[in-house]
Structure 1
Amino acid sequence: MSGVVSKVAVLGSGISGAVCASTLARNGLSVTIFESARGPGGRMSQRREITEDGKELLFDHGAPYFTVSNADMLGIVHDWEARGLVAEWKENFGSFDFVSKKFVDIEKERLSKKYVGVPGMNSICSALCHEPGVDRKFGVGVGRVEWLEDEDSWSLIGLDGQFLGRFKGVVASDKNIVSPRFTDVTGRPPPLDSRLIPELAVKVKEIPVSPCFALMLAFEEPVSSVPVRGLSFKNSEVLSWAFCNSSKPERSTISEQWVLHSTDEYAKGVIAQMGLKKPSNEALAKVADELFQEFLDTGLNIPRPFFKKAHRWGSAFPAASIAGEDKCLWDGKKRLAICGDFCVSPNVEGAVLSGLAASAKFIEILSCL
């Protein structure tokens, strides 16, 4: 890449980073998104699996849906609806109690609208990342973020040591940007030296998280013994909730697909044994068996799935919010913003509002960029 200083680098293409990048681009800023994964989405990613006989299966294995309570967020969602990026998921939800072995609290009427991306949860992030003015670098992980004092800019170095460019501002939508958790997972130092942003680093370094294992299941026949398409579990140490992914708007109905999430207690116990490094296929297979066995232990008539696979979300779900009314962390002198659901609230709406707040910081100083 050339040595010409670009405008703003956004690290991460989850919903917070994607919203921030698209908002900056709409306001005339040159934006480059860096994403270590093959595509956008973060916890709103859609998992694509191919069975042994060639069937394609698609799972929203992170965030199953989102709700809206903020007026600004509602306006954004209405825009997404008009663009065909989201739709309301009009199904009944409830809870299952492992003690009584009965369904309880089945919704008689929908108290709040549940929205999903179409045809996948990642569709929203994908559309935002492909808006005019947004340059996308998928499959490119950032290994170092260096502040060049003499040039009043940031230099980005890839995980492979490649120079990625110089930027006047940086938005980090990953809470592990300065966290030792990054080292525990990758064996590498965090991309950003905490001494560059000491006041912000204190807030970001040790954000508590709730780990989780997701189980993806596909059935040839409907799971007709479950009267709702989404349910939480009470009095289970293993499962927290389950959703029928194929009941969402514009999903394939060739087979019935479900996503189950573990409790954080179960996940913490497993991670305590296996560590934070990437789990082996054998370890994930054992987790898949244990989660599915708990599903069977409901006593419901659960058919045998033709596909069963587990995925670990090690630190994706924050258990605290750190930014208060500011909704993001900001270093105006170095033009660095940190945003994400961990800044506002641990859900899609919180992530969007934080991304908007980060973009607003840069829009305020447009003349300096």
Structure 2
Amino acid sequence: MEDGTELRFDHGAPYFTVSNDEVARVVSGWEARGLVAEWKAMFACFDREAGKFTDFEKEGTIKKYVGVPGMNSICKSLCLEDGVVAKFGVTIGRMDWIQDRSSWLLASLDGRDLGHFDYVVATDKNIASPRFSGLTGRPPPLDLSLLPQLSMMIQDIPVRSCFALMLAFSEPLTKVPVQGFSFNNSDYLSWAFCDSSKPGRAHVPLNS
């Protein structure tokens, strides 16, 4: 901003919940390390036709967790775990299942051996989309022209476009009684959340 204040937004998932005991133990460890915190706030639903908030959900009904100081804190921490090697800007050009080793052999687009892996996780359909190159100027992380079977599987995954609008206000929105809400009876709006109400969020001057 003009006054030197840096604004940060969680423009992906606003929070996450836990319903599995094993995952809950992992999240508890993250919480103890300060990577995540429970978001204790008021939530509701806004009915567009009625023009009012309904279904108020008070603090503690469903635990909502957020990364601290941002939702990407979990991924950043995982990249620093012992035995984890993070490589960025690498396009996977070949994947082969090695039966006698029960592992995947990955190679880059230029043929470099990237090693053997027990699992391969593709987190986003866009990693193989031609639009990736248009946005970044780089090849997609996964070259499907060399992986026809995987290409067919990915094409079958449905996609729903979602656009995130990030807004900053000079004054608190006192007429909004909640920190997060979903929409009913709206063809275009899904949800809205107040990022500054999350734990660990702060305005940081650029020069500090």
Bucket of the pairwise TM-score, normalised by the shorter protein:
0.7 to 0.9
Q: Which residue number in structure 2 is paired with residue 206 of structure 1? A: 156
Does the CA-based 8 Å contact 1:178-1:194 persist in structure 2? no
User: Which structure's residues are more often helix, by fraction?
Assistant: 1
Q: Structure 2-normalised TM-score?
A: 0.80
Query: Structure with the greater relative contact order (CA < 8 A, sep ≥ 6): 1 or 2?
Result: 2
Distance in 2 of aligned mates of 1:246 and 1:224: 14
> Aligned match of 2:94 in 121, 132, 145?
145
Relative to structure 1, the CA distance from residue 128 to residue 143 in structure 2 (aligned partners, 3 Å threshold; closer, same or farther) is closer
Does the CA-based 8 Å contact 1:230-1:243 persist in structure 2? yes
> Aligned match of 2:116 in 157, 168, 171?
168
- Name the aligned partner's letter for residue 57 of structure 2: E
Distance in 1 of aligned mates of 2:50 and 2:203: 32
- Unmatched 5+ residue regions in structure 1? 1-50, 256-369
> Aligned match of 1:235 in 180, 185, 195?
185
Over aligned residue pairs, what C-alpha RMSD do you find?
3.0
Does the CA-based 8 Å contact 1:142-1:191 persist in structure 2? yes
Distance in 2 of aligned mates of 1:178 and 1:108: 38
DSSP 3-state at the match of 1:78: helix
Does the CA-based 8 Å contact 2:66-2:198 persist in structure 1? yes
- Name the aligned partner's letter for residue 37 of structure 2: A
Tell me the CA shift for residue 172 of structure 1. 3.2
Tell me the CA shift for residue 54 of structure 1. 2.9
Relative to structure 1, the CA distance from residue 134 to residue 239 in structure 2 (aligned partners, 3 Å threshold; closer, same or farther) is same
Relative to structure 1, the CA distance from residue 56 to residue 253 in structure 2 (aligned partners, 3 Å threshold; closer, same or farther) is closer
Q: Percent of counterpart pairs with the same letter?
A: 49
User: Which structure's residues are more often strand, by fraction?
Assistant: 1
DSSP 3-state at the match of 2:24: helix
> Aligned match of 2:147 in 182, 185, 194?
194
Tell me the CA shift for residue 178 of structure 1. 8.8
Deviations along 1:306-329, one digit per CA (max 9) or x if unpaired, are: xxxxxxxxxxxxxxxxxxxxxxxx
Distance in 2 of aligned mates of 1:222 and 1:64: 19
Distance in 2 of aligned mates of 1:164 and 1:57: 40
Tell me the CA shift for residue 174 of structure 1. 3.2
Deviations along 1:210-229, one digit per CA (max 9) or x if unpaired, are: 21000111111101110000
Deviations along 1:228-247, one digit per CA (max 9) or x if unpaired, are: 00011112222111000010
- Give runs of aligned pairs for residues 271-350 of structure 1, distance below 5 A: none
Q: Structure 1-normalised TM-score?
A: 0.47
- Give runs of aligned pairs for residues 1-369 of structure 1, distance below 5 A: 51-108=1-58, 110-138=60-88, 140-147=89-96, 154-158=105-109, 161=110, 164-169=112-117, 171-176=120-125, 182-186=129-133, 191-192=143-144, 193-195=146-148, 198=149, 202-252=152-202
Deviations along 1:244-278, one digit per CA (max 9) or x if unpaired, are: 001000101579xxxxxxxxxxxxxxxxxxxxxxx
- Unmatched 5+ residue regions in structure 2? none
